[in-house]
Amino acid sequence: MMKKEFSVVIAGGGSTFTPGIVMMLLENQDRFPIRKLKFYDNFASRQETVAEACKILLQERAPQIEFSYTTDPEEAFTDVDFCMAHIRAGLYAMREQDEKIPLRHGCVGQETCGPGGMAYGLRSIPAVIELIDYMEKYSPNAWMLNYSNPAAIVAEACRVLRPDSKVLNICDMPIGIETRIAEILGYEDRKQFDVMYYGLNHFGWWKEFKDAKTGEDLMPRIKAYVKEHGYLPPSAMNGAQHTDESWKDTFIKVRDVYALDPETIPNTYLKYYLYPDYVVEHSDKVYTRANEVMDGREKDVFTECHRIIAAGTAKDTTIEVEEHASYIVDLATAIAFNTKERMLLIVPNNGAISNFDPTAMVEIPCIVDNTGAKPMQIGEIPEFQKGMMNQQVSVEKLVVQAHVEGSYQRLWQAFTLSATIPSASKAKDILDEMLEVNKEYWVELG
């Protein structure tokens, strides 16, 4: 019997991640066959470069897939089964502002954490809601798999503004860490683990790590390694694996994050909340992560796309499969074929964490079938994690309230409540500067 084939639109067609996602989709045609692939972006020239290169790639490797790209939402969202959304409102130029403005004030400058994450969130909310509305208008039975950042704020906005929409919010960061742990322990694949994880997006902890086959508790081995080396695997330490210096520092700093609660294994992003003074002290205020990406990945991907277009072939391309993106295929396959796969998703708590806000958008394991995600029960969490999460979830809710109400006051409260900002006066100074550069993206705040 012929396996069902699907129509997919990638929202964010001009992203530097899109070619790698196309490669990943091609590699997974056996389990998630595609009949039609479309790109959608509101930045026509940028998308054209990526799309024309991908067109050649698809013609050579999967000519049966019907491919197109457009800036017209009706054309993009008509006859689709899935929208894979990874958009960046304001591109890297605004990410640079997200990072550099807080650093000028002596606070954490990061794209998803602290003031930078809140600024980015206020740009992302209207853009993602617009995509949901296009999808529901032109393909009401479709699913949106959203991995646009900052995922925590975007997920809260979806809960508040589009509570009945078929949207699942996902993040690959825990997957990346599990892949590193697989390397550290000598496993071939992170799917050889049974894990239990809980928290908010970019703000969570593993409380269980077991061998899926034998049931062996792997936490003692992981803890012993993390205590000494953080998440820096042997290949990065001996130079075999290329890792940007900023990421090396992040992986090593996990040692100090772990030291605060040796009962769990932490997400790397917790360093921004627990050691903000260290982060600022070790940040280059002139050349931030945004600059690294613009001078690295951004240039590399567009240079390769131009080369493919000029050569008329992608046979010798340097574009690689985006391994993190295979998680998106896992999710699409689970929905499409009712596989009941266990996956980490950002969902309403609804009692899954029994001693935490039921309306909070939490990142926990879920069973995914053709009706969506069914959260697994976590039970009670310790006071330390609960206290941190209560503070951070209130920040995320206040940002969304600020957007919904057009309220400067709510946003100032959100900035002040963030563990990355030491005072209300500092919060106001950063907010006012960010407000100025984000006027064309944020709702009007009164």
Q: Could you list the active site residues?
A: 172, 269
Which structure tokens are listed for 157?
């906005």
Residue type (1 letter), 19: P
Q: Do residues 243 and 300 make contact, with C-beta atoms less than 8 angstroms apart?
A: no
Which structure tokens are listed for 289?
């992560």
Round to whole Å and give the CA distance between 243 and 315.
Answer: 27
Other beta carbons within 10 angstroms of residue 130's beta carbon come to 14
- Under DSSP, is residue 4 helix (H, G, I), strand (E, B) or coil? coil
Closest CA to 384 of 358, 355, 411, 364: 355
Round to whole Å and give the CA distance between 178 and 197.
Answer: 11
Gyration radius of the chain's alpha carbons: 21
Q: Are strands 361-369 and 341-348 parallel, antiparallel or unpaired?
A: antiparallel
Q: Do residues 261 and 205 make contact, with C-beta atoms less than 8 angstroms apart?
A: yes
Q: DSSP string covering 121-189, please?
A: HHHHHHHHHHHHHHHHHH-TT-EEEE-PSSHHHHHHHHHHH-TTS-EEE--SHHHHHHHHHHHHHT-S-
Other beta carbons within 10 angstroms of residue 166's beta carbon come to 19
Which residues are CB-contacts of 284 (< 8 A; sequence separation ≥ 6)?
A: none
Instruction: Please identify which residue in the block is written with the tokens 């503070």.
Output: 391
Q: Is 281 exposed, middle or buried (0-12, 13-18, 19+ CB in 10 A)?
A: exposed
Which structure tokens are listed for 51?
């799309």
Instruction: Please identify which residue in the block is written with the tokens 């697994």.
Output: 376
Round to whole Å and give the CA distance between 208 and 322.
Answer: 27
Closest CA to 261 of 365, 349, 389: 389
